[in-house]
Amino acid sequence: MNVSTAAPPVPELKPGTAAKSLRDVLVVTRRNVIRSVRIPEVLILSLVQPVVFVLLFAYLFAGSFGLPGAEGAAAYREYMMPGFFAQTIAFATAGNSSVSMANDVQSGMVDRFRSLPMARSALLTGRTVADLVQNVIVVGVMVLCALLVGWRIHHGLPRAAAAFGLLLLMGYALSWVGVVIGLSVRAPEAAATSNFLWLFPLTFLSNAFVAPSTLPTVLRWAAEWNPLSATVQAARQLFGNPGLTATGSWPAEHPVLVSVTWSLLIAVVCRTLAVRRYASAGS
């Protein structure tokens, strides 16, 4: 009697399993990363712009800004770098997510993905994870540039790693804002323009470049409760950089907790909105 020695067939994953959803996300992430590599101009420009801004602020404008309790251009260079990290991540992540998603909607790619037997949120999550990968590269380049202009880490690598984790978490949350915008507009040009309506107030009405204590009462309150301010304040605290905001407000006293709370809240709310919008996009 012949005994079959063939290996038993590998069972296929059911469409609703978490493993298949994860595989779908990784496939879409790989697709977005490969597309970015094939268009290197986008990545190069996203790296050049923050470097130019760092050099301008570090050597042209640093002497014009004063910090409470920390005077001099060298102190301001250390003060500004966490703000530049946050600003660059916010602009790069939200802008890239919104424009890329709008491109997918306009080109019909969203309709194609919706017709496939894949997790509903895989296209969206893959988009945000790909942006997270790009942010890691951008932050790496910015760190090298920051070290050249005099920025330093004073509280050790573990706390610095936590600071970068908070910055990347904030960027990941804002990428979901970009996805919602990309699914809501009719053209990539509209997505690019709409980003300025909320990114500029988010970044400049914060403690990224000036101390909130120098602002009028209403603007100071808005800056203190700004999600970006909490992340920047937490990063400065973990890096050990000068110019920490000492206004006595609750967000300024608990920046790490506020930063994590804001990031998770933004990610959850915007992801829910994006999934609902994706279900009806292109229909």
**Model confidence at 10: pLDDT above 60:** no
pLDDT at res. 16: 52
Average pLDDT of the residues in 63-71: 58
Q: What is the predicted pLDDT for the residue at 3?
A: 43
Q: Enter the tokens of residue 157.
A: 């690598």
Q: Please, which residues have CB within 8 angstroms of residue 143's CB and are 6 or more apart in sequence?
A: none
**Residue 70, pLDDT above cutoff 60:** no
The residue with greater pLDDT, 93 or 181, is 181
255: tokens are 């920046």
Give me the mean pLDDT over the 145-160 stretch: 90
What percent of the chain has a predicted confidence (pLDDT) above 90? 26
Tokens encoding 224:
């203190």
The DSSP code sequence of 192-214 is HHHHHHHHHHHHHSSSSSS-GGG
CA neighbor of 85 nearest in space, from 57, 50, 61, 131: 50
**pLDDT for position 210:** 78
65 vs 183, more confident: 183
- Please give the Cα distance from 60 to 39 (Å, whole number): 32
pLDDT band of residue 7 (cuts 50, 70, 90) is: very low
> How high does pLDDT run on average in the chain?
82
pLDDT > 90? residue 158? yes
pLDDT over 70 (residue 138): yes
Distance of CA 216 to the CA centre of its chain: 28
The answer to whether 140 and 235 have CB atoms below 8 angstroms apart is: no
**Is the pLDDT at 64 greater than 70, yes or no?**
no
57 within 8 A of 84, measured Cβ to Cβ: yes
Residue 242 and residue 153: Cα distance in Å, rounded? 11
> CB-hemisphere CA count at 13 Å for 117?
6
- H-state helical runs in the chain: 18-38, 40-56, 73-107, 109-114, 122-149, 157-184, 188-204, 217-224, 227-239, 250-253, 255-280
Residue 4 has pLDDT above 80, yes or no: no
* Closest among 29, 105, 117, 56 to 274, alpha carbons compared: 105
* The pLDDT of residue 165: 96
What confidence tens digit (pLDDT) does each residue in 110-126 have?
888 777 787 777 889 99
Weakest-pLDDT range from 61-65, 224-228, 272-276: 61-65
Top mean pLDDT of 8-17, 39-48, 251-260 is at 251-260
Cα angle 233-124-208, degrees, rounded to a multiple of 5: 15
Average pLDDT, integer, range 247-256 = 84
Q: pLDDT-based confidence at 109, cuts 50/70/90? A: confident
**Phi/psi of residue 67, nearest 5 degrees:** -120, 135
pLDDT of 23 reads 87
Is 191 within 8 Å of 102 (Cβ atoms)?
A: yes
